[in-house]
Amino acid sequence: MRPSGRNLAQMRPISIETGVMRHAEGSCLIKCGDTHVLCTATIEDNPPRFLKGTGLGWVTAEYGMLPRATNTRNRREAAQGKQSGRTQEIQRLIGRSLRAGIDRSALGERQISIDCDVIQADGGTRCASITGGWVALRLAVNKLLAGRAITSDPILDHVAAVSCGIYAGQPLLDLDYAEDSEAGTDGNFVLTGGGRLIEVQMSAEGATFSRGEMGQLLDLAEAGMADLVAAQKAAIG
Protein backbone atom coordinates (compact mmCIF):
# COMPACT_ATOMS: atom_id res chain seq x y z
CA MET A 1 0.00 0.00 0.00
CA ARG A 2 1.27 3.46 -0.91
CA PRO A 3 1.42 6.12 1.84
CA SER A 4 -1.28 8.05 -0.06
CA GLY A 5 -3.51 4.97 -0.40
CA ARG A 6 -3.37 5.17 -4.20
CA ASN A 7 -2.98 2.16 -6.47
CA LEU A 8 0.48 1.53 -7.88
CA ALA A 9 -0.52 2.91 -11.31
CA GLN A 10 -2.80 5.72 -10.08
CA MET A 11 -2.07 9.38 -10.73
CA ARG A 12 -2.78 12.08 -8.19
CA PRO A 13 -5.82 14.28 -8.97
CA ILE A 14 -4.90 16.76 -11.74
CA SER A 15 -6.48 20.16 -12.31
CA ILE A 16 -5.39 23.00 -14.59
CA GLU A 17 -7.01 26.43 -14.29
CA THR A 18 -6.18 28.86 -17.10
CA GLY A 19 -6.21 32.65 -17.32
CA VAL A 20 -5.03 33.13 -13.74
CA MET A 21 -2.64 36.01 -14.52
CA ARG A 22 -4.20 39.05 -16.13
CA HIS A 23 -1.16 40.43 -17.93
CA ALA A 24 0.51 37.26 -19.18
CA GLU A 25 -0.07 36.09 -22.76
CA GLY A 26 -0.69 32.61 -21.34
CA SER A 27 -1.09 31.39 -17.78
CA CYS A 28 -2.35 28.50 -15.68
CA LEU A 29 -2.31 27.09 -12.19
CA ILE A 30 -1.64 23.37 -12.29
CA LYS A 31 -2.36 21.17 -9.30
CA CYS A 32 -1.05 17.61 -9.16
CA GLY A 33 -2.27 16.49 -5.77
CA ASP A 34 -0.63 18.82 -3.26
CA THR A 35 1.94 20.11 -5.73
CA HIS A 36 0.75 23.47 -7.08
CA VAL A 37 2.66 25.43 -9.73
CA LEU A 38 1.83 28.80 -11.33
CA CYS A 39 2.94 28.88 -14.98
CA THR A 40 3.02 31.98 -17.18
CA ALA A 41 4.11 32.63 -20.76
CA THR A 42 5.50 35.95 -21.99
CA ILE A 43 5.94 36.75 -25.69
CA GLU A 44 8.96 38.88 -26.54
CA ASP A 45 9.49 40.10 -30.10
CA ASN A 46 13.26 39.95 -29.82
CA PRO A 47 14.88 36.51 -29.90
CA PRO A 48 18.18 35.78 -28.15
CA ARG A 49 21.17 37.45 -29.81
CA PHE A 50 22.52 34.16 -31.14
CA LEU A 51 19.33 33.68 -33.21
CA LYS A 52 19.32 37.11 -34.92
CA GLY A 53 18.79 36.71 -38.64
CA THR A 54 18.14 32.96 -38.51
CA GLY A 55 14.34 33.13 -38.73
CA LEU A 56 14.10 30.81 -35.73
CA GLY A 57 12.25 31.40 -32.49
CA TRP A 58 13.10 30.29 -28.97
CA VAL A 59 11.34 28.99 -25.87
CA THR A 60 13.09 29.36 -22.54
CA ALA A 61 12.06 28.82 -18.92
CA GLU A 62 12.70 30.03 -15.40
CA TYR A 63 11.79 28.07 -12.26
CA GLY A 64 11.58 28.95 -8.61
CA MET A 65 9.99 27.96 -5.32
CA LEU A 66 8.24 30.29 -2.89
CA PRO A 67 9.83 30.34 0.58
CA ARG A 68 7.06 28.29 2.20
CA ALA A 69 6.39 25.91 -0.67
CA THR A 70 7.86 23.23 1.58
CA ASN A 71 7.50 22.33 5.25
CA THR A 72 10.39 24.62 6.20
CA ARG A 73 11.14 28.11 4.92
CA ASN A 74 13.69 28.36 2.12
CA ARG A 75 15.44 31.67 1.56
CA ARG A 76 14.65 33.35 -1.73
CA GLU A 77 17.46 32.73 -4.16
CA ALA A 78 17.41 36.42 -5.12
CA ALA A 79 18.30 37.25 -1.53
CA GLN A 80 21.28 34.91 -1.74
CA GLY A 81 22.47 36.49 -4.96
CA LYS A 82 22.55 33.32 -7.05
CA GLN A 83 20.47 30.37 -8.19
CA SER A 84 21.16 26.91 -6.87
CA GLY A 85 22.43 24.20 -9.18
CA ARG A 86 19.12 22.38 -8.75
CA THR A 87 17.14 25.42 -9.93
CA GLN A 88 19.35 25.89 -12.98
CA GLU A 89 19.10 22.20 -13.89
CA ILE A 90 15.30 22.19 -13.60
CA GLN A 91 14.70 25.33 -15.66
CA ARG A 92 16.99 24.05 -18.40
CA LEU A 93 15.01 20.82 -18.43
CA ILE A 94 11.73 22.73 -18.76
CA GLY A 95 13.08 24.82 -21.63
CA ARG A 96 14.53 21.81 -23.48
CA SER A 97 11.31 19.86 -23.06
CA LEU A 98 9.03 22.60 -24.39
CA ARG A 99 11.33 23.42 -27.32
CA ALA A 100 11.14 19.77 -28.41
CA GLY A 101 7.42 20.20 -29.06
CA ILE A 102 7.58 23.24 -31.34
CA ASP A 103 8.62 24.15 -34.89
CA ARG A 104 10.97 27.06 -34.20
CA SER A 105 10.86 28.28 -37.81
CA ALA A 106 7.06 28.62 -37.64
CA LEU A 107 7.41 30.61 -34.39
CA GLY A 108 9.51 33.24 -36.16
CA GLU A 109 12.18 35.41 -34.61
CA ARG A 110 10.65 35.85 -31.18
CA GLN A 111 11.08 34.35 -27.74
CA ILE A 112 8.46 32.92 -25.39
CA SER A 113 9.56 32.81 -21.77
CA ILE A 114 7.85 30.34 -19.46
CA ASP A 115 7.96 31.17 -15.74
CA CYS A 116 7.18 28.35 -13.33
CA ASP A 117 6.70 29.32 -9.69
CA VAL A 118 6.09 26.54 -7.18
CA ILE A 119 3.47 27.66 -4.67
CA GLN A 120 3.33 24.35 -2.83
CA ALA A 121 5.60 21.33 -3.22
CA ASP A 122 4.77 17.67 -2.61
CA GLY A 123 7.01 15.96 -5.15
CA GLY A 124 7.11 16.18 -8.94
CA THR A 125 7.46 19.97 -9.20
CA ARG A 126 9.58 19.82 -12.37
CA CYS A 127 7.06 17.48 -14.00
CA ALA A 128 4.11 19.72 -13.06
CA SER A 129 6.07 22.72 -14.39
CA ILE A 130 6.58 21.07 -17.78
CA THR A 131 2.94 19.96 -18.02
CA GLY A 132 1.56 23.34 -16.95
CA GLY A 133 4.23 25.24 -18.87
CA TRP A 134 3.01 23.61 -22.08
CA VAL A 135 -0.53 24.88 -21.40
CA ALA A 136 0.75 28.43 -20.84
CA LEU A 137 2.79 28.13 -24.06
CA ARG A 138 -0.23 26.84 -25.99
CA LEU A 139 -2.35 29.79 -24.83
CA ALA A 140 0.36 32.29 -25.79
CA VAL A 141 0.73 30.76 -29.25
CA ASN A 142 -3.05 30.90 -29.67
CA LYS A 143 -2.81 34.68 -29.19
CA LEU A 144 -0.13 34.92 -31.84
CA LEU A 145 -2.31 32.96 -34.25
CA ALA A 146 -5.42 34.99 -33.45
CA GLY A 147 -3.51 38.23 -34.00
CA ARG A 148 -2.01 36.89 -37.25
CA ALA A 149 1.49 37.49 -35.98
CA ILE A 150 2.24 33.98 -37.27
CA THR A 151 0.53 32.10 -40.08
CA SER A 152 1.00 28.47 -39.04
CA ASP A 153 0.84 26.73 -35.68
CA PRO A 154 4.38 26.06 -34.39
CA ILE A 155 3.23 23.60 -31.72
CA LEU A 156 3.78 20.08 -33.00
CA ASP A 157 2.36 18.04 -30.11
CA HIS A 158 1.48 18.04 -26.44
CA VAL A 159 4.42 17.86 -24.03
CA ALA A 160 4.02 16.62 -20.46
CA ALA A 161 6.05 14.91 -17.76
CA VAL A 162 5.53 12.52 -14.88
CA SER A 163 7.68 10.93 -12.20
CA CYS A 164 7.90 7.20 -11.58
CA GLY A 165 9.97 5.20 -9.15
CA ILE A 166 10.51 2.01 -7.20
CA TYR A 167 9.26 2.32 -3.64
CA ALA A 168 9.36 -0.60 -1.19
CA GLY A 169 10.24 -2.84 -4.14
CA GLN A 170 7.19 -1.80 -6.19
CA PRO A 171 7.11 0.36 -9.36
CA LEU A 172 4.93 3.43 -8.74
CA LEU A 173 3.43 6.13 -10.95
CA ASP A 174 3.47 9.83 -10.00
CA LEU A 175 5.45 9.94 -6.77
CA ASP A 176 4.53 12.35 -4.00
CA TYR A 177 7.18 13.58 -1.58
CA ALA A 178 6.73 10.76 0.96
CA GLU A 179 7.38 8.21 -1.79
CA ASP A 180 10.04 10.18 -3.65
CA SER A 181 12.14 10.74 -0.53
CA GLU A 182 12.24 6.99 0.19
CA ALA A 183 12.32 5.61 -3.35
CA GLY A 184 15.10 3.18 -4.25
CA THR A 185 14.91 4.33 -7.87
CA ASP A 186 13.63 7.68 -9.04
CA GLY A 187 12.80 8.72 -12.60
CA ASN A 188 11.30 11.65 -14.51
CA PHE A 189 9.85 11.00 -17.95
CA VAL A 190 9.11 13.73 -20.49
CA LEU A 191 7.01 12.61 -23.45
CA THR A 192 4.94 13.99 -26.30
CA GLY A 193 1.24 13.35 -26.63
CA GLY A 194 2.09 10.85 -29.35
CA GLY A 195 4.26 8.87 -26.95
CA ARG A 196 7.67 9.99 -28.23
CA LEU A 197 10.36 10.36 -25.58
CA ILE A 198 11.91 13.78 -25.04
CA GLU A 199 13.99 13.15 -21.94
CA VAL A 200 14.39 10.49 -19.26
CA GLN A 201 16.12 11.16 -15.95
CA MET A 202 16.69 8.06 -13.83
CA SER A 203 18.92 7.38 -10.87
CA ALA A 204 19.43 4.74 -8.22
CA GLU A 205 18.87 6.19 -4.77
CA GLY A 206 20.55 3.52 -2.67
CA ALA A 207 19.44 0.54 -4.76
CA THR A 208 20.32 -0.30 -8.34
CA PHE A 209 17.64 -1.06 -10.92
CA SER A 210 17.40 -3.50 -13.80
CA ARG A 211 16.58 -2.93 -17.44
CA GLY A 212 13.28 -4.70 -16.85
CA GLU A 213 12.41 -2.35 -14.00
CA MET A 214 13.26 0.62 -16.19
CA GLY A 215 10.81 -0.73 -18.76
CA GLN A 216 8.11 -1.08 -16.10
CA LEU A 217 8.55 2.54 -15.11
CA LEU A 218 8.37 3.67 -18.73
CA ASP A 219 5.14 1.71 -19.16
CA LEU A 220 3.70 3.51 -16.13
CA ALA A 221 4.83 6.88 -17.48
CA GLU A 222 3.15 6.23 -20.82
CA ALA A 223 -0.08 5.35 -19.03
CA GLY A 224 0.14 8.50 -16.91
CA MET A 225 0.61 10.63 -20.02
CA ALA A 226 -2.94 9.85 -21.08
CA ASP A 227 -4.28 11.54 -17.94
CA LEU A 228 -1.95 14.51 -18.31
CA VAL A 229 -2.78 15.13 -21.96
CA ALA A 230 -6.50 14.81 -21.19
CA ALA A 231 -6.10 17.47 -18.49
CA GLN A 232 -4.22 19.73 -20.91
CA LYS A 233 -6.92 19.33 -23.56
CA ALA A 234 -9.67 20.08 -21.05
CA ALA A 235 -7.83 23.20 -19.88
CA ILE A 236 -7.34 24.72 -23.32
CA GLY A 237 -10.77 23.68 -24.57
pLDDT tens sequence across 167-213: 999 999 999 999 999 999 999 999 999 999 999 999 998 778 999 99
Which stretches does DSSP call E strand in the chain?
14-18, 26-32, 35-44, 58-65, 111-120, 159-167, 170-173, 185-192, 197-204
List residues forming the annotated binding site: 86, 124-126
Q: How many helices (H) and strands (E) does the chain have?
A: 6, 9
Q: What tens digit of pLDDT does each residue of 57-91 get? A: 999 999 999 999 998 998 888 778 888 888 999 99
pTM of the model: 0.96
CA distance 212 to 178: 24
Q: Which residue type does 71 have?
A: N
Three-class SS of residue 126? helix
Q: Which residue ranges make up the annotated binding site for phosphate?
A: 86, 124-126
Element (H, E) at 140: helix 125-146
